[in-house]
Amino acid sequence: MPQNQARWADKRILFVSGKGGVGKSLVAAAIAQEQARAGRKVLLVEIGDTSYYKDFWGLPAVSHEPIPLKQGFDLALWSGESCLREYVLHYLKLEKLYHLFFENKVMRSLINVAPGLNEIAILGKITSGIRRVGPPLNYDLIVVDSYATGHAMALLQAPKGMMEAIKFGPMGHHSREMEAVVQNPKLTGYIVVTLLEEMPVVETLEFNEQLKREMGVEADVVGNKFIEEPASLEDLDKMSQQNTGGLGDFAKYLKSIGERQAEFLGKLKSLSKNVSVVPLIFSNDPSQLVAGAEEALRQA
């Protein structure tokens, strides 16, 4: 079994993050499809208020309730408000009580400014199946298309902040359980997607270092849009010296790309034990994009 597939086969939750625009949603979808093909019941979760996959796959709608996709896994969109609403309704049972307490202006204002409450609600939902809290969540794996790295760290550290503020009672108890789940490498895995360019790589290195320092866990790294060289760097160098004009300049350009990619991959491998690449895929077809990324991850 390829290294990545073996590494993720026993995980119950996978968080996929990365600097904005690096292709984390594509990689999250590829991982969900790969694991579904391996026979697992998979839920791909977007977090936030709007869905990327709605337009990507041309879906009529994506909502809090999971919907099945022809790709073989389910898809849902979870926001802080939708997760909090579901949690409260599960215990209050009556929707009228929910509206009475949570839909008035004063309470909504408090919810909107409460530090970390949206993150706690989302993380509580993501970990609820493992913790056996709230409505049943019967999936073998939840792949989370998470926030970009900065906000993702705030999401993962929300339980710690809540525990410091509320040490006792149900909220303190649930926060301790959430933290235990996200810090357990047997249950939860982390994947950071990056382009092999300076700024995304720097942000990836910083995020992985913070994960190790603050949570004692390490992320796998996926370098997206890797340009596969048509020849070795040595051969490209010879071509650039032997040919004048367009061909020589093109060989020199390809050599510079190869050297830069090798440099950034070296930096990533110095920090993470598991670094893989997804090639630059020339297609506008979502199925081909996901399939190409899936194949690259499977073979890594």
Computed over its alpha carbons, how large is the radius of gyration of the chain?
A: 22
Does residue 279 register a pLDDT over 80? yes
97 or 289, which is more confident: 289
By the 10 Å C-beta count (0-12 exposed, 13-18 middle, 19+ buried), 216 is classed as exposed
Residue 255 is assigned to a structural domain of this protein: no
Contact yes or no for 298/36 (Cβ under 8 A): no
Identify whether 170 is part of a domain.
yes
* Residue 7 in domain: yes
What digits encode the pLDDT tens for the residues 134-166? 888 999 999 999 999 989 999 999 888 777 766
Judge whether residue 258 has pLDDT over 50.
yes
Q: What is the CATH number of the domain that holds 112?
A: 3.40.50.300
Host domain of residue 147: 3-227+274-299
Give the best-scoring range by mean pLDDT among 98-112, 150-164, 243-257: 150-164
Give a yes or no: residue 233 inside a domain. no
How many structural domains compose the chain?
Answer: 1
C-alpha distances (whole Å) from 215 to each of 152, 158, 176, 184 are 13, 12, 13, 9
Residue 146 CA, distance from chain mean position? 4
pLDDT at 187 over 90: yes
Distance of alpha carbon 21 from the chain centroid = 13
User: Which letter does DSSP use for residue 16 in this model?
Assistant: E
The model's pTM: 0.88
Highest mean pLDDT, choosing among 13-17, 118-122, 282-286: 13-17
Mean pLDDT over each residue of the chain, to the nearest integer: 86
User: Mean of the pLDDT values across residues 235-245?
Assistant: 67
CB 34 within 8 A of CB 14: no
